[in-house]
Amino acid sequence: MDLATLWFVAIAVLWTGYFFLEGFDFGVGMLLPVLGRTDAERTTVISTIGGVWDANEVWLIVAGGATFAAFPLWYATMFSGFYVALLIILVALILRGVAFEFRGRREDRRWRANWERAIVAGSLVPAVLWGIAFADIVRGVPIDARHEYAGGPGDLVSWYSVLGGLATLTLFLLHGALFLRLRTFGEVRVRARQAARWIGPATVLVVAGFLAWTQVHRGGVVTVVTAAVAVAALIGAWALNRIGPAGAAFTLTGLAIVAATATLFIGLYPDVLPSTINPAYSLTVHNASSTHYTLTIMTWAAVIVLPIVLAYQAWTYWVFARRIGVAQRPPQRRPTPKRPAAARSGHR
């Protein structure tokens, strides 16, 4: 395997990790008003991802950085064509991160409700747009002979891309519901299990339809297997949610995300961004990559740094592995205002 192909695989792995980890974050955020009926319950729902959501987003940063360094032409052309969609995603992620931090700053009901809406919107928008974006990458976009994007915003919207957005939306909702069932107890856990029962069938249908369409468009022998694994894992997750342990069901939705993402990247290879104008204008693993020297330096850096990053994130999840619920949360106390120095002196 040459270094360009190796880094294409590495980027696929990074996106897979991002969708697996950030997928349940998005699901938890979207399900916040559904599963949290009281302020204490909504605080519990948010607390399940409070210690890990920002670390999960590191996978997105690393995936973007790796794409920029290993495939600069792919990065430049993709960001030129997807600029509006990526800007919307960025704003949504920023709003979501701010909402997590600001929601608990006041006891005011309206203040908390507004930031909770921001969490929902900041989770919903990326969950849909990432599916649309990756569907467009697999389907192809208008790229001219200079490898520049030659279309407009309307060229990024098709029935296939919309189905891709619905696929990631439902998949992340199911993943998040099962994560909440795994991480909570009490009424929130009961509602999470019920939500997964309702979301499961829709997820299976939408994801199966999207992967079948992908198979017709850019599929092969290997993608038949990965797509079948994804659908079978979703069916298994839905069944286990009804009769089995939460951990096994959550693991299967994670397997579905891994298999579905693998289907997209395997179907895409050796292209990284196909051209709908002329296949000869497509960006491929080799004509869009950096020099061999650059890829060599990146490879050594990844070998040294990646194990440290993975070990740190594994430790983080181990620290926050305990189930939580409303009954566990201590009552929140307002900070006692400090007395002026003069008043303290007089008291003495």
**pLDDT tens profile 33-79:** 999 999 999 999 999 998 888 888 989 999 999 999 999 999 999 98
Neighbours of 279 (CB within 10 A): 10
- Alpha-carbon distance 295 to 90, whole Å? 27
Q: Which two tokens stand for residue 314?
A: 């594994």
pLDDT averaged over the chain? Answer: 90
Q: What is the CA radius of gyration of the chain?
A: 22
Per-residue pLDDT reduced to its tens digit, 281-323: 999 999 999 999 999 999 999 999 888 888 888 887 787 766 7
State yes or no: cis peptide before 245, omega within 30 of 0: no
Confidence check: pLDDT of 340 > 60: no
Per-residue pLDDT reduced to its tens digit, 3-28: 999 999 999 999 999 999 999 999 99
How much is the pLDDT for 310? 84
Say what the alpha-carbon torsion angle 162, 164, 166, 172 is, to the nearest 10 degrees: -150
Place of tokens 């006891």: 107
Q: Which two tokens stand for residue 281?
A: 């204008």
Of all residues in the chain, what percent are helix, strand and coil, respectively (each to 5)?
A: 80, 5, 20
Mean pLDDT of 124-147: 95
Neighbours of 295 (CB within 10 A): 18
Task: Report whether 266 contacts 226 (CB < 8 A).
Answer: yes
Q: Which are the contacts of 92, defined by CB distance < 8 A and separation ≥ 6? A: 121, 122, 125, 126
Confidence check: pLDDT of 338 > 90: no
Per-residue pLDDT reduced to its tens digit, 150-162: 988 888 899 999 9
- CB-count burial class (<10 Å; 0-12, 13-18, 19+) for 34: middle
- Alpha-carbon distance 140 to 92, whole Å? 25
Q: Which are the contacts of 167, defined by CB distance < 8 A and separation ≥ 6? A: 131, 206, 207, 209, 210, 211, 260
Nearest to 291 by CA among 13, 69, 11: 69
Per-residue pLDDT reduced to its tens digit, 166-215: 999 999 999 999 999 999 988 999 999 999 999 999 999 999 999 999 99
Distances, alpha carbon 11 to alpha carbons 130, 232, 289, 326, in Å: 15, 25, 12, 39
Percent of the chain with pLDDT over 70: 92
Domains identified in the chain and CATH numbers = 3-296+304-328 (1.20.1630)
Place of tokens 């992340």: 172
Long-range CB contacts (within 8 A, 24+) of 112-115: 112/39
- CB-count burial class (<10 Å; 0-12, 13-18, 19+) for 318: exposed
- Alpha-carbon distance 138 to 274, whole Å? 7
Tell me the pLDDT band of 279, cut-offs 50, 70 and 90. Answer: very high
